[in-house]
Structure 1
Amino acid sequence: MLGALSAFGALTIDMYLPAMPGMASELRTSAPMVQLTLTVFVVGLAVGQVIVGPLSDTWGRRRPLVIGLAVYVAGSLWCAVAPTAGWLIGGRVLQSLGAAAGTVLARAIVRDLFSGTAMTRFFSTLMMINGVAPVVAPVVGGQLLTVATWRAVFLVLAAAGGVLLLAVVFALPESLPVRDRAPAHPRATLRTFRGLVTDWHYLRYVLAAALMFAAVFAYISGSSFVLQDAYGLSAQQFSLVFGFNGLGIVVLGQVGGLLVGRVATEHTLLRIALTVATVGAAGVLAGAVLNLALPLLLVSLFLVVSMLGVVLANATSLALAGHGSAAGSASSLQGLLQFLVGGLAASAMSLPGHITATGMATTMLVCSAAALTVLGVRR
């Protein structure tokens, strides 16, 4: 259940990616406008986590989770009936605020229950389930498009949200005892956040994870246009490529979970993964600039995307290790930076008015190299 909650944001992002070019045509709008529906979702996901995380430190984890999932279902239904791109953007904002609860509270609940290497390994397990979402979601979305319009994607997401809401209500126990909850006071919340942003040990791991996520998010938001429009892949072919890269997250995330504590520390695995991602991003840029064969581009993309599971599992464990009493707030700040940086990267990529392979590759390289640099800065 925690894996499903943590994957909810990725599921909501990935399932409608194959439909984006068709959505632009049906709604009579531009590709950047459709891409904006992705950006606002990510920003809403970030802002929602900052609201839900501190509330969960005071109320416990279950109540904010139930409210968030109900909001998610409502937002998904709104998107399914949206008549224009503007209405769709509004629905995506509501949907994102609801999805934020699952994203932030899955991490907080893990921190409530685990510590040390056990926590890192559990996060690796969550990354396995998170990796399944990019494998399954675009394939399901692509197949839905063969029998229905893009609106069916949001109906399926609403149904998934409803099922998960029922599961939480009837099967998920509270993980934060009343004795460990923070007082409901705005000043106490602000003090907690001030302590987090001045803790470089916490912040450098959060920033490294956020920048790596931004590199992959540039791929997520731009690859449907690049691979379908520039390289001629069909919606179904794109969904298979996207799914294979998601499978890399699953496999490499599990390998990282097996290695941590046995062969290497969390910090060492994190550094190796960011180095591989940076090399892969350089390969993507070379392929785009030099117009190299598509297989070379796809291999480089795989190297970048597959490292995400290793990076997020180890960076999250290292960041939350010293903040058990404020896991909700610490998790929410991580989510805020992760999705804000990702949204800004996607927006910067589409500033010229259209999305190109070179623009996507440049964004990926800048973000992955910056993540590796931040990790090496000590204070």
Structure 2
Amino acid sequence: MEATMTTRRYWSLILILGTMTALGPFSIDMYLSGYQAIAIDLHTTTARIGLSLASYFIGISAGQLLYGPLLDRFGRKKPLYAGLVVYILASAGCIVAKSLDFFVAVRFIQAIGSCAAAVASVAMVRDFFPIKDSAKVFALLMLVVSASPMLAPTIGGYITAAWGWQIIFVVLGLMGFFLMLTCIFFLPESHQPDTSMSLKPAPIINGFWAVMREPQFYTYALTGALAFSGLFVYVSSSPVVFMDIFHVSEKHFGWIFAGLSVGLIGSSQLNSLTLRYFRSEQIIRVALLGQTLVGVALCFGTYMGWLGLGSTIFILFLFLSCLGFVYPNATALSIAPFKKNAGSAAALMGALQMGIGGLASTISSLFDMTTAVPMTVIMAATAVLSLTMLLIGRTRITNPVLLQEAGEAAVIH
């Protein structure tokens, strides 16, 4: 079945799906500037507040495995609505938190809710757009998502300074509410319910295992997850590195964080231009090599004490710029082999990303950092492991689905 997608519909879908994808990053980035204020109110250290971010990552990982089969069984929108309701209620729980343990717990629940939007957006890209356009569409979604690191920490810093960190979660709850209204009235259903999909544990596990056995999936999903975990380590550790070690203010931290995100944004958009001349498989290989070299240089320079605030920011900019090329291509190549069970594939890919990212950020949160060495060591290690996974996994792919050679038509229901 083939249908013509108008330019207006195309860009409205990009905006809505991008906003859905951005809900999780906003929930992560907006409260980073409030780390110190939250730590004071909850009678703990700034570094320990990083556990609430780790629990968020773990919640997204676990939740995506829950929503994948639901999105295939009931269609995309009903599970999405359920997740957004959970997100709104958990945001209210964050507002009234009085202890670190409770705050960590409700952040986990908040993540369970937000990942419904994350999984649905990836599956809907596979539903709505031709497979040959997937990498370009994911790059455009990243442009919307990139508003989060540019705006969220700065907004969060001003909110914390003016009204207190609790208001950050009021804003996040309202974001979830308005996103739900937008999806109800403006987002079409892209996948009709599949009554043949069983929600019993054994068929669900078998479905995930069938996806995981696909060499193209596990190669690029694990490659992308390991590379992306370097970003998670940076996000969870940067408040300590910049505010505690380099002694920048909350407002200045927001501006630094926003400036660094320009590298991620710019490279993800440059990726769309690069795809006119090179295949995704070629781009990701070169970008990962660059990310590995930059990560090792950052680690070594920090360990030797050669890097100050300015040089640390510059090398982090290069690291994030490499990641902007890796992510959209790894994501598109991971889900390319799937159509019928795209929801399960998107969920498993997201679970791997968030699970590995959550583990890496948890490890970084356990260090009582007096220097940036723990952050940079873990970031370098994730890049090295990602490149290793790519080089080994590519030898296992016997029948690759090449994005530029595919020719499906976009279908709108």
Q: TM-score range by the shorter chain?
A: over 0.9
Alpha-carbon separation, structure 1, partners of 2:333 and 2:133: 12
Alpha-carbon separation, structure 2, partners of 1:276 and 1:157: 35
**281, 287, 291: which one aligns with 1:277:** 291
Identity of aligned residues (%): 33
Q: Secondary structure at the match of 1:307?
A: helix
Deviation sequence 1:357-379 (CA, Å, 0-9, x none): 00000000000111111111122
Q: Which residue of 1 aligns with 2:400?
A: none
Q: Secondary structure at the match of 1:324?
A: coil
More off after superposition, 140-149 vs 363-372: 140-149
Structure 1 segment 129-168 matched on structure 2, within 5 A: 129-168=144-183
Q: Which residue of 2 aligns with 1:244?
A: 259
**267, 280, 289: which one aligns with 2:281:** 267
Alpha-carbon separation, structure 1, partners of 2:193 and 2:229: 36
Q: Secondary structure at the match of 2:380?
A: helix
Q: Which residue of 1 aligns with 2:326?
A: 311
More off after superposition, 17-26 vs 363-372: 17-26
Aligned AA for 1:320?
A: I
* 2:217 counterpart of 1:188: no
Structure 1 segment 285-364 matched on structure 2, within 5 A: 285-291=299-305, 292-354=307-369, 356-364=371-379
Q: Which residue of 1 aligns with 2:227?
A: 212
Aligned AA for 1:295?
A: G
Given that 2:158 and 2:251 are in contact with CA atoms closer than 8 Å, whether structure 1 keeps it comes out as yes
Q: Secondary structure at the match of 1:264?
A: coil
Alpha-carbon separation, structure 2, partners of 1:12 and 1:55: 23
Q: Which residue of 1 aligns with 2:62?
A: 47
Q: Which residue of 1 aligns with 2:41?
A: 26
- Post-superposition shift, 1:355? 6.5
Change (3 A) 1:241 1:181: farther
Q: Which residue of 2 aligns with 1:125?
A: 140
Q: Number of paired residues?
A: 378
- Post-superposition shift, 1:179? 6.1
Given that 1:42 and 1:340 are in contact with CA atoms closer than 8 Å, whether structure 2 keeps it comes out as yes
Change (3 A) 1:287 1:19: farther
* 2:124 counterpart of 1:116: no
More off after superposition, 346-355 vs 100-109: 346-355
Alpha-carbon separation, structure 2, partners of 1:324 and 1:9: 25
Given that 1:46 and 1:339 are in contact with CA atoms closer than 8 Å, whether structure 2 keeps it comes out as yes
Given that 1:128 and 1:309 are in contact with CA atoms closer than 8 Å, whether structure 2 keeps it comes out as no
Task: Give the alignment's TM-score, normalised by structure 1.
Answer: 0.96
- Post-superposition shift, 1:195? 1.2
Q: Which residue of 2 aligns with 1:200?
A: 215
* 2:74 counterpart of 1:36: no
Alpha-carbon separation, structure 1, partners of 2:85 and 2:370: 34
Aligned AA for 1:130?
A: V
Q: Secondary structure at the match of 2:277?
A: coil
* 2:77 counterpart of 1:69: no
Q: Secondary structure at the match of 1:175?
A: coil
Given that 2:242 and 2:253 are in contact with CA atoms closer than 8 Å, whether structure 1 keeps it comes out as yes
Q: Cα RMSD (Å) of the superposition?
A: 1.5
Aligned AA for 1:117?
A: K
Given that 2:72 and 2:194 are in contact with CA atoms closer than 8 Å, whether structure 1 keeps it comes out as no
Given that 2:139 and 2:328 are in contact with CA atoms closer than 8 Å, whether structure 1 keeps it comes out as yes
